[in-house]
Structure 1
Amino acid sequence: MRCSMGSKTNTWSDQWGTGVFNNEENDYEKPNNKSNNSSSNKKMEQVKAAASTGLVKAKSVAIVGAHKVKKGTSTGFKWIKNKCSSSK
């Protein structure tokens, strides 16, 4: 079946603009229970604390790694400089 320009049905883009799908999204929302929120808040705090600890460790490892790369690069350039200057 072909849709002509004069068709009165909504197109896909028109449906998104009119809020046709808003009712479906409300069906998936969870009920707001205080006991559920308090336990989920505690879990969220524990997850945030663990993530924070992990980020601190990752940052320190990255800093140490960057220092090692910097030192190794410097040592490598000095070695190359010494090899080139001693061959002349």
Structure 2
Amino acid sequence: MAGHDSNGASWADQWDYSNPDPVSENKKSRKNTVTLGGGGEGTRKKIGDGLEKTKGVAVSGAKKVKEGASLGFQWVKDKYNKRTQKQ
């Protein structure tokens, strides 16, 4: 049928502000079971391990950014001091 997208909502339905969420309830419940399914102790441990690794990478990256910014600032400061001392 012309004017309908893959989930059955027409163009007009997508712009109907009386229903801000055009996704059907059936699709919402399937989405939740897929994303929340499983959830056993092994899955929680894997997620926890993944978060620890991510945290470690983020901390390491933040340290590198801080060191790089510090070196960059020191370089600019040295260039400025050399320039002002010549005059």
- Please tell me the TM-score bracket, short chain as reference: 0.5 to 0.7
Q: Secondary structure at the match of 1:16?
A: coil
Q: Which has the higher contact order (CA 8 A, sep 6+)?
A: 2
Q: Alpha-carbon deviations, 1:10-60, whole Å to 9, x = none? A: x51267358771122213323754xx4212101111111101111111111
Alignment partner of 1:51 is 2:87: no
Percent identity for Structure 1 against Structure 2: 11
Query: Matches of 2:54 and 2:62 in 1, distance apart?
Result: 12
In the alignment of these two chains, the number of paired residues is 72
Which ranges of structure 1 fall in alignment gaps of 5 or more residues?
Answer: 1-10
TM-score norm. by structure 1 comes to 0.64
Query: Matches of 1:15 and 1:65 in 2, distance apart?
Result: 52
Structure 1 residues 49 and 20, CA, compared in 2 at 3 Å: closer, same or farther?
Answer: closer
Kindly report the root-mean-square deviation, in angstroms, between the aligned alpha carbons of the 2 structures. 2.6
Q: Which structure would you say has the larger Rg?
A: 1
TM-score norm. by structure 2 comes to 0.64
Which ranges of structure 2 fall in alignment gaps of 5 or more residues?
Answer: 1-11
1:4-15 equivalences in 2 (<5 Å): 12=13, 13=16
Query: Matches of 2:28 and 2:56 in 1, distance apart?
Result: 36
Structure 1 residues 18 and 75, CA, compared in 2 at 3 Å: closer, same or farther?
Answer: closer
Q: Which AA in structure 1 matches 2:58?
A: L
